[in-house]
Amino acid sequence: MSKQPVHTTLYSLSARPPEQPERRGDERFLSLFRVGALIVGDRRELCLIRNISAGGMMIRPYSRILVGTPLSVELKHGEEMTGVTQWAQDGLVGVTFDAPIDVVALLTASAHGPRPRMPRVELDCTATLREDGNVHRSRALNISQGGICVRTAAELRDGAHVIVSLPGLPPAGGVVKWRDEESYGIGFNRVFPVSELMRFVQEQQGGELSRAAG
């Protein structure tokens, strides 16, 4: 694929904290992670936030953080999340929050704050891709106002025009921007309004809570 895929901070509706990543290099990805203020004791420094879920976060600190260390991370909007380090691997640290956070409220603040667009939100639902006369089933991995990442066994060519259908959202036209094995990045032809995407995210959160309760 001609265009380099981009990794940005990923928001998850799951109550589980992020797990340790697979040992795999990210040199094929351009990383543009959200910056947070990391507070450990009386020390305050910056960190990069890779993943945020209701139950925890994965960060890349600039100093060594030991497992079992209490800490807090503060975002630009003033939100402060406290927790404890559960694992450290390859320069990344996994944190479990002291209490679950409201990810939808955090997303709402991010979407209406200084960021020009809503960040990526993790998904786990079926998506249908229509390319010319062919229809492919896929799994939606994450979504933003401007695009979606899906996993499918179908072979999609670079620059292919597709129609993406998701439960709860109107079909959206888009273009295949990049591929990483069976994962594809699709840029939408239009930017989804924040209100429309937030409604979809809240429906997804309701489904996640139902699965957790069951």
We report the CATH number of the domain holding residue 13 as 2.40.10.220
Same domain, 135 and 105: no
Same domain, 98 and 13: yes
Same domain, 57 and 148: no
The arithmetic mean of pLDDT across residues 124-145, rounded, is: 93
Q: How far apart are CA 126 and CA 47, in angstroms?
A: 34
Domain region containing 135: 123-192
Please give the tally of structural domains in the chain: 2
Environment class of residue 9 by beta-carbon count within 10 Å: exposed (0-12), middle (13-18) or buried (19+)?
buried
Domain limit, last residue, from 112, 146, 161? 112
Residue at 159 is within a domain: yes
Q: What are phi and psi of 152, to 5 degrees?
A: -150, 150
Same domain, 81 and 143: no
pLDDT at 26: 53
What's the half-sphere exposure (Cβ side, CA atoms, 13 Å) at 114?
5
Closest CA to 120 of 98, 103, 137: 103
Residue at 203 is within a domain: no
pLDDT band at 203 (very low <50, low <70, confident <90, very high): confident
pLDDT tens-digit map of 108-126? 766 555 555 678 898 889 9
What's the half-sphere exposure (Cβ side, CA atoms, 13 Å) at 9?
22
Q: Is the pLDDT of residue 105 over 90?
A: no
Q: Is the pLDDT of residue 144 over 80?
A: yes
Same domain, 171 and 140: yes
Q: Is the pTM of this model over 0.85?
A: no
pLDDT band at 75 (very low <50, low <70, confident <90, very high): confident
Domain limit, last residue, from 64, 84, 112? 112
Same domain, 101 and 127: no
Give the pair of three-digit tokens for residue 76.
């630009």
